Structure 1
């Protein structure tokens, strides 16, 4: 019996998060159903089925990880042929029997900001404050034993997606000018990244001072927890998870297939965009 880790890509839009929930469509439920259907696992306890992270409803992934034991050789594309298009296996790796995907060496999250009023200089300033080890008690909804976490790096980049859009969809307007915020760390608290992004935006639009950010990261023992509203999950991607000594091998066909699915969904979004734009224009003409 061999133990295998799989790297999962999914579009989170139509999922109620990763973790299984009664009568709701989730990523974990889909994976377990199809792994059972194909004979890779039967009893979850005996197969030691484990997951790396429980992403919220709407959050996307290119790098979440599951692991399980099976006597059957894992065939990535056999599983993908059974899975729905919005969830696919991208890579696999053999792992030791004691491997627990929860304990990672590094996680990378990307939040995509779509605002024209962001001061990039201020975004980089607040990123420098967040780097390092801090008390993130103000950046989670749950009370946990320890809220100390370490941010290894944060990279702010102005994305240039227009070339791809122009090639694939020449009629799409140049309305997209996203900013990528890539955050790297060993582990994160629940809602931590989305609360961080709220603070990033508030600083970048001049609503919050850098001094206040310092206070949020260094709360006094008896201070009440700050009420930081999370930003939308739809713009958050779990980009990757890495482990010491584990080398994932990406399947070229699987990655190309998932890419095609993403391109197809872009075409659908363009058509929806065009319909809404035409309705807006017609309303403007009525008032003209």
Structure 2
């Protein structure tokens, strides 16, 4: 019986998060259903089915990880043919029996900001967050330890390329996203989205660097600060890496998921055009 880890890509829009919930569509429930359907697993305990992370409703992924053991040779595209288009297996790796995907070497999250923000100010606040801090003010749930280490934060202003300018001529440069890529071993629940609220507030001069440093070094028994989380739909779990484990990406599977994303863009463009034409018609009436 072999143990395999799979790297999962999914569009989180139509899911109520990753973790199984009664009577709700989730990524984990879909994966388990189709793995059972194809006879890769039966009993979850015997197959030692494990997951790396429980993303919230609306959060997307290119790199979440599951693992299980099976007597069948895992065939990525057989599973993908059974799965719905908004979940696809992108890569696999053989792993040892004791492998637990929860214990990663590095996780990368990307948050997309669409506001016209000063990149230099975002880089200033990023420097404050790098390193080891007490993130108790940046989580929704009480946990035994809230100390986490941010290895790196990269800020990238993305210009719309020629394709997007041609296909979406009505999009303005102010809608070009800013990528905030955050790297660390582990993260608390809502931690990235609360961090992004502070990034945006600092860029809009609503909070100072000294106040941010106080949030990261709260006094013992002090009340938890209220930080409103940013929207989930702009967050992507980009990758999870493990020491000594190398995933093999399936070219066909990645291209198939890419085509699904392109097709969804086409549908969004049509919806955009319909709404834009209605707005213009209403403006003509005024």
TM-score range, shorter chain: over 0.9
| 1:44 paired residue number | 44
Partner Cα distance (2:70, 2:162) in 1 = 44
Alignment of 1:188-203 (within 5 A): 188-203=187-202
Map 1:176-215 onto structure 2 (within 5 A).
Answer: 176-215=175-214
Describe the SS at the equivalent of 2:22: coil
Deviation for aligned residue 1:166: 3.5
TM-score by length of 2: 0.98
Kindly report which structure 2 residues correspond to 1:114-129, keeping only aligned pairs within 5 A, or say none.
Answer: 114-116=114-116, 118-129=117-128
RMSD: 1.0
Q: Is the 8 A contact 2:168 2:269 kept in 1?
A: no
Q: Which residue of 2 aligns with 1:252?
A: 251
Q: Quote the residue 2:164 is aligned against.
A: 165
SS in 1 for 2:58: coil
Question: C-alpha distance in 2, partners of 1:44/1:164?
Answer: 45
Alignment correspondent of 2:111: 111
Mapping for residues 24-103 of structure 1, pairs under 5 Å: 24-103=24-103
- Structure 1 runs (4+) deviating above 6 angstroms are none
CA contact under 8 A between 1:61 and 1:237: conserved in structure 2?
Answer: yes
Write the mapping of 1:252-271 to structure 2, written as runs, cut at 5 A: 252-271=251-270
Instruction: Report the equivalent of 1:239.
Output: 238
Shift of the 143–170 alpha-carbon distance from structure 1 to 2, 3 Å rule, reads closer
SS at match of 1:96: coil
Give, in angstroms, the shift of residue 170 of structure 1: 5.3
Alpha-carbon distance, 1:163 to partner: 2.7
Q: Which segments of 5 or more consecutive residues in structure 2 lack a partner in the other structure?
A: none
Cα distance in 1 for residues equivalent to 2:67 and 2:170: 40
Aligned to 1:77, the other structure's residue is in SS state helix
Give 1:161 deviation, angstroms: 3.4
How many angstroms does 1:171 deviate by?
4.5
Counterparts of 1:193 and 1:216 in 2: how far apart (Å)? 14
Q: Which residue of 2 aligns with 1:133?
A: 132
Shift of residue 178, structure 1, vs aligned partner:
0.5
SS at match of 1:144: coil
Shift of 1:153: 0.1
Distance 1:246 1:163 in 2: 38
Q: In the comparison of the two structures, how many residue pairs are matched?
A: 285
Alignment-derived partner of residue 10 in structure 1: 10
Partner of 2:278: 279
CA distance in 1, matches of 2:68, 2:244: 18
Residue 146 of structure 1 and its aligned partner are, at CA, apart by: 0.3
Q: Is the CA contact (8 Å cut-off) linking 2:76 and 2:89 kept in structure 1?
A: yes
Question: What is the distance in 2 between the residues matched to 1:136 and 1:110?
Answer: 18
Cα-to-partner distance string for 1:65-111 (whole Å, 9 max, x where unaligned): 00000000000000000000000000000000000000000000000
Q: Distance in 1 between matches of 2:170 and 2:118?
A: 26
